[in-house]
Structure 1
Amino acid sequence: SRVRNTHPFAHLNLIWCPAHLGIEGNEEADTAAKEAADPDADPEADPPPILTSLASIRQRIKAKLKAASLTPTPPTDSKRVAATNALPTLRRLRDHYDPPGTRRALAALPRPEASAIAQLRAGHSPLLTFLYRIGTVGSPNCELCGSPETTEHFLLLCRRYRGIRKALIKELERLKIPRRTQNILTNPLAYQPLATYIRLSYRFYRARHLRQNPTQHGQPRRQQAPKKPPRQPKTS
């Protein structure tokens, strides 16, 4: 009645669709579903064969590989024994160069600064020593100082960043972190002042990025010259 009142000129046709009743295939499917849902069924009985898709096969293989990687394998030869004996040493190295809180400290930083710190830690940064090693530039030396532009040179020695380095050194002294490259790159407490130092140095940013965002990292915009007033027509 509500539909008739809302749409008085509408014509409704009711079409009844039969379910599985009387259809052989649907009857078999209904019977199989009831047998599978029967709580009194034998749990050890072999289930009927089920067609498996390629995606489910890949998923099962990945699950088995993951479970196998998490399961310790007993050593069967000298190489496995040596690897097992090296695990404590590897853990000590990991705890030394990647102490607890490293990932959390990097995740709290802006992505450009976190990426720059990760590059410095890995030794694959856009500093000239690395670029020279991979054949990108013709010289590894700093353009200002003439010394090789290593990570230590960039962080602690280069005269170009002497002004902004004072704030970094002051913060390291407050945090009681030794003024050494290894300590700066492996101590999560140093990452925040180090990120500020990297951001103010503009060393890790492309010139195109700075031109597009001149105020994002503290670089002032270029002052535009005032427009000249339009010429007034001469009057006779």
Structure 2
Amino acid sequence: MGFIETEILNAVKALKLDGTPTTFIWIRGHFNIYGNTIADTLAKQAILLPRRELCEFPASDLNRWFKVQQMKGWDNFHSNYHAGFKYKIMFPQPSSNPWFARMPSHPKTFYRVMSRLRSGHCATKTYLLRIGRVESGMCNVCLEDEDAEHMILVCPIHRNKRRLLFEKIEEFIPRPFNLELILVTELEAVYDAVVTFIVDSEIKL
């Protein structure tokens, strides 16, 4: 719908709200009718005006535009963020692809373990307590809350194998480590080291 049509419809709506009825009738063109001559003159003048496209469209058509603008804004924020490396990887650039799309050719254990860690749905005591499967969320070894971070980074029963894990990931992540920092890196080498540690330590997630 062009500018003229939009203006006509807006005028009709305004008249209708004012209680004034509007009737459209056909008038023979170029027949020395005063009003028609004026309309014809104005129409010719309108051709010289800058073109304006006004049309109504559903709000859903803007979804893609908003998404693109949001991604651009986030990329700009991330690229110009003033803090150091640690905070950069805590606010990673968003991706339209799932994390595992960038890490092909791994066994199912890899994807299962990392998906559970990323979602927080691990068979830890704190999670099982939350869903009513156990009566206590405490670790049997050190009597602290047994969540995924405790099992991977804290519990002394896995101390020896954890030392090897830290040696592998400190090349990519600054100390001190925490589970959130490890997960948001989405680095294949880091994820490989975590899964290897969990499997070798026989941690059940």
Q: What is the aligned partner in structure 2 of residue 226 from structure 1? A: none
2:156 is the alignment partner of 1:159:
yes
Deviations 1:111-142 (A, max 9, x none): 12320111011010111111100001111110
**Distance in 2 separating the partners of 1:121 and 1:130:** 14
Work out whether residues 100 and 111 of structure 2, in 8 Å CA contact, stay in contact via their aligned partners in 1.
no
Work out whether residues 125 and 134 of structure 2, in 8 Å CA contact, stay in contact via their aligned partners in 1.
yes
After TM superposition, the score normalised by the length of structure 2 is: 0.52
Which residue of the other structure, out of 55, 65, 70, is the alignment partner of 1:88? 70
**Distance in 1 separating the partners of 2:192 and 2:101:** 12
2:146 is the alignment partner of 1:149:
yes
Which residue identity is paired with 1:165?
R
Q: What is the aligned partner in structure 1 of residue 165 from structure 2? A: 168
2:195 is the alignment partner of 1:195:
yes
**Distance in 2 separating the partners of 1:97 and 1:165:** 29
Q: What is the aligned partner in structure 2 of residue 180 from structure 1? A: 178
Deviation at 1:170, TM superposition (A): 0.5
Q: What is the DSSP-based 3-state SS (H/G/I as helix, E as strand, rest coil) of the residue aligned with 2:92?
A: helix
Deviations 1:20-63 (A, max 9, x none): xxxxxxxxxxxxxxxxxxxxxxxxxxxxxxxxxxxxxxxxxxxx
Q: What is the aligned partner in structure 2 of residue 73 from structure 1? A: 60
Work out whether residues 127 and 149 of structure 1, in 8 Å CA contact, stay in contact via their aligned partners in 2.
yes
After TM superposition, the score normalised by the length of structure 1 is: 0.45
Work out whether residues 129 and 150 of structure 1, in 8 Å CA contact, stay in contact via their aligned partners in 2.
yes
Q: After TM superposition, list the pairs within 5 Å mapping 1:77-156 onto structure 2.
A: 88=70, 92=74, 96=92, 102-104=99-101, 106-156=103-153
Q: What is the aligned partner in structure 2 of residue 234 from structure 1? A: none
Deviation at 1:96, TM superposition (A): 3.1
Deviation at 1:201, TM superposition (A): 1.6
Which residue identity is paired with 1:125?
C
Runs of 4+ that moved beyond 2 A: 95-102, 104-109, 174-178
**Distance in 1 separating the partners of 2:94 and 2:204:** 23
Q: Name structure 1 gaps, 5 residues minimum.
A: 1-70, 206-236
Q: What is the DSSP-based 3-state SS (H/G/I as helix, E as strand, rest coil) of the residue aligned with 2:149?
A: helix
Q: What is the DSSP-based 3-state SS (H/G/I as helix, E as strand, rest coil) of the residue aligned with 1:193?
A: helix
Work out whether residues 164 and 197 of structure 1, in 8 Å CA contact, stay in contact via their aligned partners in 2.
yes
**Distance in 1 separating the partners of 2:94 and 2:199:** 23
Work out whether residues 129 and 137 of structure 2, in 8 Å CA contact, stay in contact via their aligned partners in 1.
yes
Deviation at 1:101, TM superposition (A): 7.9
**Distance in 1 separating the partners of 2:115 and 2:153:** 18
The verdict on how the C-alpha distance between 1:157 and 1:183 changes in structure 2, with shifts beyond 3 A counting, is: same
Work out whether residues 110 and 192 of structure 2, in 8 Å CA contact, stay in contact via their aligned partners in 1.
no
Q: Which gives a bigger RCO, structure 1 or 2 (Cα 8 Å, sep 6+)?
A: 2
**Distance in 2 separating the partners of 1:105 and 1:201:** 26
Q: Name structure 2 gaps, 5 residues minimum.
A: 1-57, 76-90
Work out whether residues 92 and 185 of structure 2, in 8 Å CA contact, stay in contact via their aligned partners in 1.
no
Q: What is the DSSP-based 3-state SS (H/G/I as helix, E as strand, rest coil) of the residue aligned with 2:162?
A: helix
The verdict on how the C-alpha distance between 1:105 and 1:128 changes in structure 2, with shifts beyond 3 A counting, is: farther
The verdict on how the C-alpha distance between 1:97 and 1:201 changes in structure 2, with shifts beyond 3 A counting, is: farther
Q: What is the DSSP-based 3-state SS (H/G/I as helix, E as strand, rest coil) of the residue aligned with 1:165?
A: helix
Work out whether residues 118 and 183 of structure 2, in 8 Å CA contact, stay in contact via their aligned partners in 1.
yes
Paired residues, number: 128
